[in-house]
Structure 1
Amino acid sequence: MSGLRAEDRDWLLALLSVPTVSPLEGGDLAGFSRAQGLFAGGAAERGLALRRWDSPPPDELDRPDVPAPVRAAAGRDRAGWLAAQPSVVVGVGDPQPTARRMVLNFHLDTVGPHIPPALGHGVVRGRGTVDDKGPGVAAVVGVSRALAEDPSLARDIEVLVASVPGEEGGAMGVHGTRWLVESGCVGRLMVFAEPTGCRALDACSATMTPVVSVRGHDSTDDRPTEGHNATTALGFLAARLTERLGPLAERLGARVCVSGLRTGESHNRVHGTGELKLNIAYHDTAAAEELAVAVERAVAESGAEFAERFAGNPLTRTLLADWSRVVRLDWVKRGLPPLANRDAAMEAVLGAAGLPRHDGVADGTAFTCDAIWAPDRDRYVVACGPGLLDRDGAHTPDEHVRLDDLDTYADRVRALVHAFGAHVRDPAATDHPRSQG
């Protein structure tokens, strides 16, 4: 077993101590460069040299599929905002063509709030432990051990480990992973070190986010009939969208979350503004389009349905009169590609290392991550890492990871480097490009 040693755990705790909460989750950018420096320094101590430290140009955020919250967070100083969240790539081995290169990827940014790390009883607790700094550190340890066991691998294969920003908060990797992929950081095998219980998931959902808003005027509790009651409108819409989209999403194998609803907290006034957010995860673009059409149709028909139900009700009189003017639908995220790929040769390589393929779509364990940007005809892309999102409290105050899980993953990454090297070195190996699902 080649798990984490005391010095590896110290490195992980140091990395976890630096807050890297996504700016889309209210985080401060000050910690990102410091954390990337700690990552690069620790990797160098383990034999992985710095290959890249860069960020995309500002016009990357003008692309039509960039989520609106990313552009809003970047503000006017896009160049400075992006530079404060660099992507870092470390690696070992001589430069190789894609067919002889393996890439591991993890994201440095976390959800909020930051939770300082604590180690005890074989468990590390804190923000980023399982999602996703812990898996990243374990991956580097595994790569390092493999090359220490067989230094000759450095002549035949290249192994890169990428530490990226911009995965959490709905950023979806548009200024981290996508930038690296499109600028050449790709390999025959690409492993995204997300918590999967060391199973390789070769399908990931993408998400889209519709927002229904009311932009009317308030009124006091003494004149409740004179305001555009956003609470009433959006409550009605939440129920109607649940009714319309729930059965459709289930039939299409998608997931709809009717999520944030915000109007106001006062009990003595009518709140005339507010918004209702939905999150829709899907595994194929046809399903996404059918659900998007259903959302648009439901919102378009909601005015007539609301009028039929509440005609003559004095509390909705103003809202009914101005429904088409004050109620609107916007898409803050749409058009992102899901991941679906198969590759017999690389599935065998992963399986030989104790990282078996698992059909996450069939049992509902597939999830959304920035691996969606990586697939192409000459490479196989999987999400595969230690721990489990739900069991280990990812995105909750109880986020943690078991040291045993990190040790196991480090050892299996070590085995994966050896297995990939053996595949590349085998002149009889039949290496067909992956197929798309």
Structure 2
Amino acid sequence: MSPVPVWAATGLLPVDCELLLHLLRTPAAPPADGRTEALSLAGGPWADGAGGPVPDTVRAMERYAAAADRLGLATVHFGSPLPAELDRPDVPPAVRRAVAERPGYLADRPSLVLRLGPARSAARTVMVNVRLDAAPGSAPVSFDGRRVRGPGANGGAGPAVALLAGIRAALAMAPALGERITVLVQLAAGGAGGVLGTRPLVERGYVGALNVFCAPTGLRWLPRATAASTARLRVRGEDVAADRTDGRIEAAVLLGFLAQYLARELADRPVRIGGLTAGPLPGVAAGGGELLLELPYGDAAAGRAAERTVEAAVAGGLARFRTDFADLPGLARTAGECARITAVEWLQRGLPVLDSRHPALERLLTRAGLARWPGEEPAFDSDAIWTAGLPDTLTVLFGPGTAVPATGDAGESVDLDRLDEFADAVARLLTAFAASTTSTSTASTTDG
């Protein structure tokens, strides 16, 4: 086996910084998920015609593809999933509704696949997955020559641009890189557990033996990823005048009680409780409302067990509410009917988790000088879950920055030095993978 070439980091060039700032300033459609789409459909800041920034993901991806083309990466896919690909139980109902009711929804969330070299078997292919979307309402974009700030600087556009710098450096060290291996770059539409972007791309065959998902891991590779189920507790009722106190449904009181009850009952479980909404209009006592629960899990069995635990805890909370509030004026009807008017709806459930293993490729990462994520530290969620079960592959999360911003840091940001280090790591990884392959290659006849 050929030795891994020594490569000295040259850092991002001014043209890279220009591209990064352009991407950060181009509004992309926010990550799609059940809660975001429910708010958007109700008239939130990203709803059609709501007056917020107009998503221009297509323009951002075209600019990125043009920069990649100068390095020899060809565009092999650029488009949105077909509606039929989203007619599945693991797609949140609110996302399916958005697809059906909002013209242009899918067009605003395309995915892009770029390729260096011809299409080859997965055994001789490295795939890197990055995202350009960002949450609305993030801090403004700025760059002081050392630190870049803006939505996606740490986990989106920042590593995406540094990835191109790393490929450029690898090509400078090994000009025939594309004759030895194939490099795929996925710019996937995000959110909803990857069902709009990563999952369709993986199912179309845009994967490699080594799959790297850019994530804020502090430049340590993590071969695990969790998933999460999302539940909505919905109280059904009617809206009545606020000055009427006889027999109305008090959704806010019921849901507020359930939020506190569940926080106590599920205190030993990683359940996130939030999104309580009721009474959207002044002068109206809401007869309905909802509460959102998110249940992260590290294996499928634990996820199913958590769902049963939550459903049992909700039933217990309703029974307690019925007992505690039955005799209170104005709450008797709510207490008496709480079980009938409250439902647990699963916005998303049954997602796979990732626990990837491939001893030979793990040793390759070590030879490339990449540090492993400590086994005792917990994993986190990622679209990488859709590569779970792929045979003879290794999938890792790897990228600059950390999931938690530094104390006192306003908004998402990343030091340029960290992006330089990520580009360095990408170059070492690609040249190490190429060195591990044979000197001959046979291109396939398809792009998938």
TM-score by length of 2: 0.87
> Quick check: 2:322–2:338 contact (8 Å CA) kept in 1?
no
Matches within 5 A, 1:28-43: 30-43=55-68
Query: Structure 1 residues 75 and 23 mapped into 2: Cα distance closer, same or farther (>3 Å)?
Result: farther
Query: Structure 1 residues 61 and 94 mapped into 2: Cα distance closer, same or farther (>3 Å)?
Result: closer
Structure 2: runs of 5+ lacking an equivalent: 1-8, 37-44, 47-52, 441-448
Query: Structure 1 residues 116 and 317 mapped into 2: Cα distance closer, same or farther (>3 Å)?
Result: same
Report Cα offsets for 1:382-403 as digits up to 9, x if no partner. Answer: 110011121259xx95111110
Structure 1 distance, partners of 2:381, 2:124, is: 28
> Quick check: 2:230–2:347 contact (8 Å CA) kept in 1?
yes
Structure 1 distance, partners of 2:27, 2:246, is: 47
Q: In structure 1, the residue corresponding to 2:105 is in which secondary structure?
A: helix
Give the CA RMSD over aligned residues. Answer: 2.3
Query: Is structure 2 residue 289 aligned with structure 1 residue 238?
Result: no
Structure 2 distance, partners of 1:383, 1:29, is: 31
Structure 1 distance, partners of 2:262, 2:434, is: 51
Query: Structure 1 residues 217 and 38 mapped into 2: Cα distance closer, same or farther (>3 Å)?
Result: same
- Percentage of matched positions with identical amino acids: 39
> Quick check: 2:233–2:342 contact (8 Å CA) kept in 1?
yes
**1:84 positional shift:** 3.2
Structure 2 distance, partners of 1:274, 1:187, is: 45
Matches within 5 A, 1:196-345: 196-220=217-241, 222-247=243-268, 249=269, 255-264=270-279, 270-345=285-360
Q: In structure 2, the residue corresponding to 1:335 is in which secondary structure?
A: coil
> Quick check: 1:208–1:336 contact (8 Å CA) kept in 2?
yes
**1:217 positional shift:** 2.6
Report Cα offsets for 1:310-358 as digits up to 9, x if no partner. Answer: 2311231110232233211101111111111122211122222232221
Structure 1 distance, partners of 2:145, 2:332, is: 62
Q: Comparing 285-294 with 88-97, which one deviates more in the overlay?
A: 88-97
Structure 1 distance, partners of 2:281, 2:107, is: 41
Q: Comparing 137-146 with 212-221, which one deviates more in the overlay?
A: 212-221
- Matching residue of 1:422: 435
Query: Structure 1 residues 93 and 220 mapped into 2: Cα distance closer, same or farther (>3 Å)?
Result: same
Higher fraction of helix: 1
- Matching residue of 2:23: 15
- Matching residue of 2:41: none
Given candidates 157, 176, 184, the residue that maps to 1:152 is: 176
Query: Structure 1 residues 317 and 122 mapped into 2: Cα distance closer, same or farther (>3 Å)?
Result: same
> Quick check: 2:167–2:427 contact (8 Å CA) kept in 1?
yes
Report Cα offsets for 1:170-224 as digits up to 9, x if no partner. Answer: x111011001100010100000011111101111110111110111134455433
Structure 2 distance, partners of 1:38, 1:50, is: 12
> Quick check: 1:124–1:400 contact (8 Å CA) kept in 2?
yes
Matches within 5 A, 1:28-427: 30-76=55-101, 80-113=104-137, 115-167=139-191, 171-220=192-241, 222-247=243-268, 249=269, 255-264=270-279, 270-359=285-374, 362-364=376-378, 366-375=379-388, 376-391=390-405, 398-425=411-438
Structure 2 distance, partners of 1:261, 1:279, is: 13
**1:243 positional shift:** 2.1
- Matching residue of 2:5: none
> Quick check: 2:358–2:392 contact (8 Å CA) kept in 1?
no
Aligned length: 414
- Matching residue of 2:40: none
**1:156 positional shift:** 1.5
